[in-house]
Amino acid sequence: MLNKVVHLFFIILGGTIGYLYVPELIRILNFTDSGWASSPYLGMIIGAIIFFILSYWLADYILDFLRWVEDALIKLPAMDLFFGSIGLIVGLVIAYFINMPLQDINIQVVSQVLPLFITIVLGYLGFQVGFRRREEFVGLMKTNKKERRRPLEGEDADLLIPKAKILDTSVIIDGRIADICQTNFLEGTIIIPQFVLGELQHIADSSDTLKRNRGRRGLDVLNRIQKELPVKVEIYEGDFEEISEVDSKLIKLAKVINGIVVTNDFNLNKVCDLQGVSVLNINDLANAVKPVVLPGEELVVQVIKDGKEHNQGVAYLDDGTMIVVEEGRDYIGQTIEVIITSVLQTSAGRMIFAKPKLLEKAL
């Protein structure tokens, strides 16, 4: 069908050009003195035939170009296409008003060539601005909507729509986010950016076995969240091409959509805090729900290795919390009673310091 449309377009184009210019060409070249030879209708027929023959040579190239444009438009996210089109329309409208006074100038270059140039340039710039700044426009729209939205009388502000949660690569590979989603502790839409998926796929394709397994684990976790858990999951198709680092893209996305970054990366946590971006750290949640251990309590642990400092031993609780046992190097491989001396808790984890109970009794 498209092939026939291209041929029909060439016939109409050739007929129009023949009608307008072939009689003039015959008159200039002085082919014949016959009046019928300079008839515009004869020129229309000649132009239509010539362009119809040319269409068989050019049709394949034009069809390939149209299919390429069609595939590019289909693959383009709807939001990108929408804002790009809006920008194009705005650019063309501005170009129209700029070109209006130029039409009255008698200089041919100014009245005919310059308006075409202005239209093309402003149309292109309008499309690029709408396409590349789409995230900012969406963020502004959401911000304005939230500013207009006020709790009604007697309405609880907590019932308003919660912010979207943006998952980073580390928290997906960690896997605990799936269990947290299953317990309904995370409210709102779960956003998985396309650039995070790309990083996960790159890790899953790594030649390093450990990295490959971590990447595949992350993809399995995402598959579970999307298909098995009662949460709303959206894939964010946009990208910030001017930013190379994935962590920076996450922070930018959180600012644009007014979302919350979910991570267990200590450094990303700190950068989000510095830039005023809301962040949820899975390690903070894990530390908060761990059994409370207070200084002075007694525990039974197995010292498994020596510590960094002199005469230190290291043991672990069942949940993986590290216990540094002062003067515990001599007890490596033994199960002993220890007394908690202090607890250090940060976003990077929790560390417990203790000393052997036997030493306490000796004193």
Domains of the chain, first to last = 2-134 (no CATH), 160-287 (3.40.50.1010), 293-362 (2.40.50.140)
CB 123 within 8 A of CB 87: no
Looking at residue 158, its pLDDT comes to 45
Mean pLDDT of 108-121: 74
Looking at residue 159, its pLDDT comes to 46
Q: Is the pLDDT of residue 237 over 70?
A: yes
Looking at residue 157, its pLDDT comes to 46
Distance CA 9, CA 11 (A): 5
Distance CA 177, CA 254 (A): 18
CB 283 within 8 A of CB 177: no
pLDDT per residue over 1-40, tens digit each?
Answer: 667 777 787 788 888 887 777 777 766 666 555 555 557 7
Looking at residue 288, its pLDDT comes to 74
pLDDT-based confidence at residue 108 (cuts at 50, 70, 90) = low
Q: Is the pLDDT of residue 267 over 50?
A: yes
Mean pLDDT of 140-162: 53
Looking at residue 221, its pLDDT comes to 87
What CA–CA distances, in Å, run from 268 to 43, 84, 177, 208, 265?
72, 32, 17, 24, 5
- Among 135-144, 171-180, 293-302, the least confident range: 135-144
Mean pLDDT of 285-293: 74
User: 3-class SS at 306?
Assistant: strand
Note the pTM of the prediction, 2 decimals: 0.49
Q: Residue 322: how many CB atoms within 10 A of its CB?
A: 14
Q: Percent of the chain scored above 90 by pLDDT?
A: 1
pLDDT per residue over 308-349, tens digit each?
Answer: 888 889 998 876 778 899 988 888 888 889 999 888 876 556
- Among 61-70, 197-206, 252-261, the least confident range: 61-70
> Quick one: CA dihedral 329, 331, 334, 337, positive or negative?
negative
Burial class (CB in 10 A: 0-12, 13-18, 19+), 308: exposed
